[in-house]
Amino acid sequence: MKLPDECCNLGDIRCEIDRLDSEIIKLLGHRLAYVLAAAQFKKSEEDIPAPERVKAMLADRRVWAREAGLSEDFIENLFEQITSWYIATQIEHWQKTRGQVKGASHG
């Protein structure tokens, strides 16, 4: 790992950006694991979107963006996209896992 001011050329910069992007993707995967685990605590599919939680979460992300010197609007938009996809994925997971449980009880 090189700090930005330690990079000697564009190749070094690109290598570090690729390394960071790889870490971000791995972290998104870890986050997804928690999102899917949360499905077990949802009583119904309608509980999954949790709009009040999303609203509070996005407000927190705006604060964190400001503290990090990043655009609050960009980070909010990014997390809206992330959250939207995770909600859809959690709904799909909830339907599959609850469907298996229901199907097993009829068998």
- Binding-site residue positions for substrate: 14, 31, 42, 90
For range 12-40, the mean pLDDT: 97
- Binding-site residue positions: 14, 31, 42, 90
Q: How far is 70 from 63, CA to CA, in rounded Å?
A: 10
| CA dihedral of 90, 28, 26, 37, whole degrees rounded to 10 | -40
| pLDDT higher than threshold 80 for residue 104 | no
Query: pTM of the predicted model, to two decimals?
Result: 0.82
| pLDDT higher than threshold 70 for residue 107 | no
> How many domains, the chain?
1
For range 84-93, the mean pLDDT: 95
Q: How far is 53 from 90, CA to CA, in rounded Å?
A: 15
| pLDDT higher than threshold 80 for residue 42 | yes
Domain that holds residue 89: 4-106
Q: Residue 60's domain is classified under what CATH number? A: 1.20.59.10
Query: According to the model, what pLDDT value does residue 99 have?
Result: 65
